Chain A
Amino acid sequence: MISIQQSDFDLNEEYRLLRSAAPEIGAIVTFVGLVRDFGDESLVKGMYLEHYPGMTERVLQEIIDEARNRWPVKDVRIIHRVGSLSASDQIVFVGVNSKHREAAFAACEFLMDFLKTRAPLWKKEITDQGEYWVEAKDVDARRTDRWKDSQK
């Protein structure tokens, strides 16, 4: 499931949906990303998120397919919010379930690393000093690169 949406999401509901595959599954891993109050420039009051409609969903589906090739995961749920957000708002949700925890942990981290470096989404930080488009970070590219060498 992939959803790009302006509205907030309910972690409990997402967890309930991932759990509904029980007892076939034995592990659920979820990740939630939040708007941090300190950004590239200064104190962040809020954030604006833009994306490339259509391409975002397509890229996320490719990333999910690749995760499924690598690990025996059952369900994958990705939600990414767009539009105007405030400090401490939820931005992104990635949830994975599987028989065992190893696959769920790895797939969730893989999905986040690739989402950050492949999906056409852009953040603009809103501060008292002005608005700034966030710069892409080398550390994120390196996190994604390290999956290239790993079979799993």
Chain B
Amino acid sequence: MNEIVIRIRYFARLCDQLGCSDEQFAMDSSGCLVAELKQKLAGRGENWKKAMELPSLLVAVNQVLANDQAQLHSGDEVGFFPPVTGG
């Protein structure tokens, strides 16, 4: 097995709903897609499933906006957050 470890960060409403702001997460292999990560996280329970399947959920990989098809590699930082409301 070629396991990789990524850092996941959750912001704003998502952080409140999931009770988690930051974690290290192990995945099976390099090149896994964001979509696969979301699927794994959704398996943690109803809260997680709801959050990961929300159409408005945004994702950034290494602090750049990304999508479900982005590939993940060891040491990557993935940020999940709702639509932005600053300004």
B87 touches A115 (CB 8 A): yes
A52 touches B63 (CB 8 A): yes
Interface string of A120-138 (1 = CB under 8 A from B): 1111100000000111110
A136 and B82 in contact, given A50-B11, A52-B9, A55-B60 (Cβ under 8 angstroms): yes
Asked if B35 CB lies within 8 Å of chain A CBs, one says no
A134 to B86: give the CA distance in the assembly, Å: 9
Taking beta carbons and an 8 Å cutoff, which residues of B are in contact with A? 9, 11-13, 15-16, 56, 60, 63-64, 79, 81-87
Question: Looking across the interface, which residue of chain A has its beta carbon closest to that of B87?
Answer: A116
Asked if A49 CB lies within 8 Å of chain B CBs, one says yes
Could you say which of B13, B16, B79 has the most chain A C-beta atoms within 10 Å of its C-beta? B13
Residues of B within 8 A of A55 (CB): 60, 63-64, 79
Number of A-B contacts (CB under 8 A): 72
Task: Report whether over half of chain A's contact residues are helix, strand or loop; otherwise say mixed.
Answer: mixed
B84 touches A58 (CB 8 A): no
A112 to B41: give the CA distance in the assembly, Å: 35
A122 touches B87 (CB 8 A): no
Asked if A108 CB lies within 8 Å of chain B CBs, one says no
A122 touches B63 (CB 8 A): no
Could you say which of A120, A136, A137 has the most chain B C-beta atoms within 10 Å of its C-beta? A120
A123 and B85 in contact, given A52-B63, A54-B63, A58-B63 (Cβ under 8 angstroms): yes
